[in-house]
Structure 1
Amino acid sequence: MLKWIQGGISSVTGIAEPEYGPECIHSCTTRVSNKQSFNEAVADDFKWQSPENTHVETSTFYFTDLKKGYNGFAQIIHSNIGGIHTTAQFTFKLYKYKNYDASKAGDFTLSEDELAEASKDFETIWTSTKLSNFRIEGKNFFADNLSIEWISDTEVHFKSAVNPASVIDLVFVQEAPSVKVGVDPHTYYGDNLEAPWGSMSHVFRPRNKVTGSIKTTTNSGAEIVLDKEYTKGMFVMALQGMKPHHAAKAWKFINFQNQHYSVVLMEFTTPKSYANTVVSIAIVAKDDKIVSVPVMNDCRMLELTTDDAGWGVPKSINFQLNGFDASLNDSEVETKGIAGLETFEISGTLTELTERVDVMNEMPQFVKNIVSGVAGTKPYIYQFYSQDLLLKLPNEEKPQTGPCWFETTYIVDEEVPQQ
């Protein structure tokens, strides 16, 4: 009971939490130990949960044009503080790698016009815009001049004209199955699973065909039309059902897409109040199939240098993703045991740091108030792009190459692991 009271107080006041210990973190990955971690998510798993307590909920759509070299995301951030005040924000990023080489993403060739577009100069677009008159309707989200609408269980339409620098009209059509870890993808915080004081969850659609356009006031007012045959995307619905700096102190994220393969990784490390627990979820998809959902991963950031914010900035990565074949059932996984694990390796140089985001500058003022003054809290997101990271697959000699979006996020400075 004492820990429940402590958790309740800290979730409202924002004060530093006591050290509850590992018994107060119940991860979705631990619950699938010795089981098949891949569970196919259905469309209803992508409904907005919008709990009454303090939370941040996001729906993020990533896209990669393999021919033209465009890479970016569109995101809704929906947050509620103490059940009192709700805000919503639209954020958008569009980036194009200089001298993009499409041959590293697939076995297609480019026409002269495509080569010209892939090589021309491009100014990165980054916008963050407060939304008005927003509302949730199941899986759908609406606001003035913005909508995320599920046309069917396999097709989602994201439109926004809230910022003239990033007017989007994008359609995501499912190619590979949706993914959640286990029957219940939530990680729970607290000493009573029947009444947790916080939670975290992720549901993924890791591989989609993407069509649409982006209009911008930059880049000579260009309208960018994504290649309808070779633009791949993924999207993820995420819920932090407690204050973000209490749920996690650091994050890693990968979105690798090429002509045939997609790899997604979402990993967070809890604060020491929850024993610095690492929860790591990866997904490997090939064309229209899920290959594996590794949850026993060793994700190392290498060649770190400390920047003026005091965080370690990597120059390269080596991620060993260890999982079972997604076609195995629970009993087959149990029979095979550790010997049945397959390793998928993502590695290479992080070619360019495209953005360092000072999260406090991007937050709505009311959200800033909950973390301002909390010792050690200085959230930064480091966004990297590389056009030719390597994906090594079990039992295949030739590695895959492709463009990859990588993010590392630091939130709380309390001896964050530097790997």
Structure 2
Amino acid sequence: MTFKIYNPHAKKAVWKSISASGFKPNGRSCKSDHFDIKHTGAASGEESYHIVAHLDKHVQFDLVFRRPAEAPGVKFGAGEMGGISTFGKDKEDGIALHRFLPLMYSSGTFTLDGKVVDAKGDGMFVRAIQGMRPDSLATRWNFAFFTTGGGIEEGPLGGVRAIQMEFETTDAYGPKGHKSGRTKVNVGVVTITSLPSPLIVVGQTHHASSDAFPRLSKDISAATHLGVVKDKDTGYYAPTGISFVWEGDRVDGKGRAGAKVVQEKAGATVGEGGLIEKVDVLGEIPLLIRKGLAAVTGTKPYIFQYQNPATLEVTLDGETTPVKGWLFDEATFISD
């Protein structure tokens, strides 16, 4: 289990990663010697996850994440294969799965070094399965979560959430197979509480050659680094700005809709451009496993995490409305 809490006022993050012993799964619930997760409810109505954890003497928490009945879950594609990206012919190489609950509410407490922190707020949930070795699945990732929660007064559209997940494959998974260039896979959703269903759900594959893949729809879901700077600590080219765009057919069938948010300043210096931390992923796992992974894969994964106030431009019925909120986003690098 990994855990992180960031205080934007104090500019301080607390991160914990532990190897949990005694793990026992039970459907969507599970328990171990360090935590207990209980799932209640069903997809047809309200559901919740109650998480009680004692990671060490410094970090404990008792949290409930609740999804209201009127806030549906989201996956790109219908049926059992919805939300699944396949690698190789007939999934022979592996899969990646992403299914989202875009609107959830949190309650409970964190206890950090004996100090109790109220956990009341809102968030999102993703069921993600990485069904293959990380360095085989992707070379890099982009992720965005925009929310009007966090103490910002809701505007004329009510509560708005926008999520985007993008990964770029290795050279093994181009449009013509091995060594034919990397492929970007992107899935996004925008939800508005004043509407009866998610506004749009979009997905797309991208390649350096625009005609490399058949164009299945006019939907757009794209993350773009607006500039780069070489980071002396990691050797990667971190973004100096990031744009996230969504555009597609409304789920309720009432025409097209879209959204865009731009983080104009990013960078590679913690404390500037909203950069919370450069997470050394291998540094957060046990030494023996870390040495083995690095030797076998040659990877050096880092996650650049940003959090900023932001404005999401939502286009609905031909009219664009600026929506103020918070943007949490990540630029992850797995390998060169």
TM-score range relative to shorter protein: 0.7 to 0.9
**In structure 1, the residue corresponding to 2:12 is in which secondary structure?**
coil
Q: Give the structure 1 partner of residue 326 of structure 2.
A: 403
Determine which of 199, 209, 215 is the counterpart of 1:291. Answer: 199
Return the alpha-carbon distance in structure 2 between the equivalents of residues 409 and 215 of structure 1: 29
The Cα of 1:190 is off from its aligned counterpart by: 1.6
The Cα of 1:322 is off from its aligned counterpart by: 2.1
- Determine if the alignment matches structure 1 residue 155 to structure 2 residue 79: no
For residues 203-282 of structure 1, the aligned pairs below 5 Å read 203-217=99-113, 221-227=114-120, 231-259=121-149, 260-275=159-174, 276-282=182-188
Return the alpha-carbon distance in structure 1 between the equivalents of residues 56 and 189 of structure 2: 33
What 5-or-longer segments of structure 1 have no aligned partner?
A: 1-89, 99-120, 333-339, 414-419
Matched residue type, 1:223:
V
The Cα of 1:272 is off from its aligned counterpart by: 0.6
The Cα of 1:168 is off from its aligned counterpart by: 1.2
For residues 15-164 of structure 1, the aligned pairs below 5 Å read 90-98=1-9, 121=10, 123-153=12-42, 154-164=47-57
- Determine if the alignment matches structure 1 residue 186 to structure 2 residue 48: no
The Cα of 1:370 is off from its aligned counterpart by: 5.0
CA 1:384/1:279 → structure 2, altered by over 3 Å: closer, same or farther?
same
Determine which of 284, 287, 299 is the counterpart of 1:362. Answer: 284
Return the alpha-carbon distance in structure 1 between the equivalents of residues 48 and 320 of structure 2: 35
The Cα of 1:369 is off from its aligned counterpart by: 4.8
The Cα of 1:292 is off from its aligned counterpart by: 0.8
Return the alpha-carbon distance in structure 2 between the equivalents of residues 366 and 189 of structure 1: 29
TM-score (norm 1): 0.64
The Cα of 1:376 is off from its aligned counterpart by: 5.2
- Determine if the alignment matches structure 1 residue 317 to structure 2 residue 242: yes
Determine which of 274, 280, 302 is the counterpart of 1:380. Answer: 302
CA 1:133/1:381 → structure 2, altered by over 3 Å: closer, same or farther?
same
- Determine if the alignment matches structure 1 residue 345 to structure 2 residue 253: no
Return the alpha-carbon distance in structure 2 between the equivalents of residues 322 and 364 of structure 1: 42
Q: Give the structure 2 partner of residue 116 of structure 1.
A: none
Q: Give the structure 1 partner of residue 211 of structure 2.
A: none
Relative contact order, higher structure (CA 8 A, sep 6+): 1
CA 1:277/1:162 → structure 2, altered by over 3 Å: closer, same or farther?
same
Identical aligned pairs, as a percentage? Answer: 29
CA 1:374/1:132 → structure 2, altered by over 3 Å: closer, same or farther?
closer
User: After the TM superposition, which of the residue ranges 154-163 and 265-274 deviates more from structure 2?
Assistant: 154-163
What 5-or-longer segments of structure 2 have no aligned partner?
A: 150-158, 175-181, 204-219, 267-272
CA 1:145/1:363 → structure 2, altered by over 3 Å: closer, same or farther?
closer
CA 1:397/1:180 → structure 2, altered by over 3 Å: closer, same or farther?
closer
Q: Give the structure 2 partner of residue 302 of structure 1.
A: 226
The Cα of 1:303 is off from its aligned counterpart by: 3.0
Return the alpha-carbon distance in structure 1 between the equivalents of residues 23 and 297 of structure 2: 33
Determine which of 57, 61, 65 is the counterpart of 1:172. Answer: 65
CA 1:327/1:366 → structure 2, altered by over 3 Å: closer, same or farther?
farther
Verify the 8 A CA contact 1:215 1:223 in the aligned structure 2.
yes
Q: Give the structure 2 partner of residue 5 of structure 1.
A: none
CA 1:240/1:258 → structure 2, altered by over 3 Å: closer, same or farther?
same
The Cα of 1:289 is off from its aligned counterpart by: 3.4
Verify the 8 A CA contact 2:261 2:313 in the aligned structure 1.
yes
CA 1:375/1:205 → structure 2, altered by over 3 Å: closer, same or farther?
closer
Verify the 8 A CA contact 1:348 1:389 in the aligned structure 2.
no
Matched residue type, 1:278:
K
The Cα of 1:375 is off from its aligned counterpart by: 6.4
Matched residue type, 1:239:
I
Aligned residue pairs, count: 284
Q: Deviations over 1:236-274 (max 9, x none)?
A: 111111101001111011111114011111110100110
**In structure 2, the residue corresponding to 1:342 is in which secondary structure?**
strand
Matched residue type, 1:301:
H
Determine which of 199, 215, 222 is the counterpart of 2:95. Answer: 199
**In structure 1, the residue corresponding to 2:295 is in which secondary structure?**
coil
Q: Give the structure 2 partner of residue 390 of structure 1.
A: 312
**In structure 2, the residue corresponding to 1:289 is in which secondary structure?**
coil
**In structure 1, the residue corresponding to 2:259 is in which secondary structure?**
strand
**In structure 1, the residue corresponding to 2:290 is in which secondary structure?**
helix
Verify the 8 A CA contact 2:197 2:252 in the aligned structure 1.
no
Q: Deviations over 1:14-37 (max 9, x none)?
A: xxxxxxxxxxxxxxxxxxxxxxxx
Return the alpha-carbon distance in structure 2 between the equivalents of residues 125 and 139 of structure 1: 27
**In structure 2, the residue corresponding to 1:124 is in which secondary structure?**
strand
More helix as a share of residues: 1
Matched residue type, 1:157:
H
Return the alpha-carbon distance in structure 1 between the equivalents of residues 262 and 61 of structure 2: 32
User: After the TM superposition, which of the residue ranges 397-406 and 262-271 deviates more from structure 2?
Assistant: 397-406
Verify the 8 A CA contact 1:167 1:214 in the aligned structure 2.
yes
Matched residue type, 2:21:
S
Return the alpha-carbon distance in structure 1 between the equivalents of residues 139 and 12 of structure 2: 32
The Cα of 1:129 is off from its aligned counterpart by: 1.6
The Cα of 1:165 is off from its aligned counterpart by: 2.6
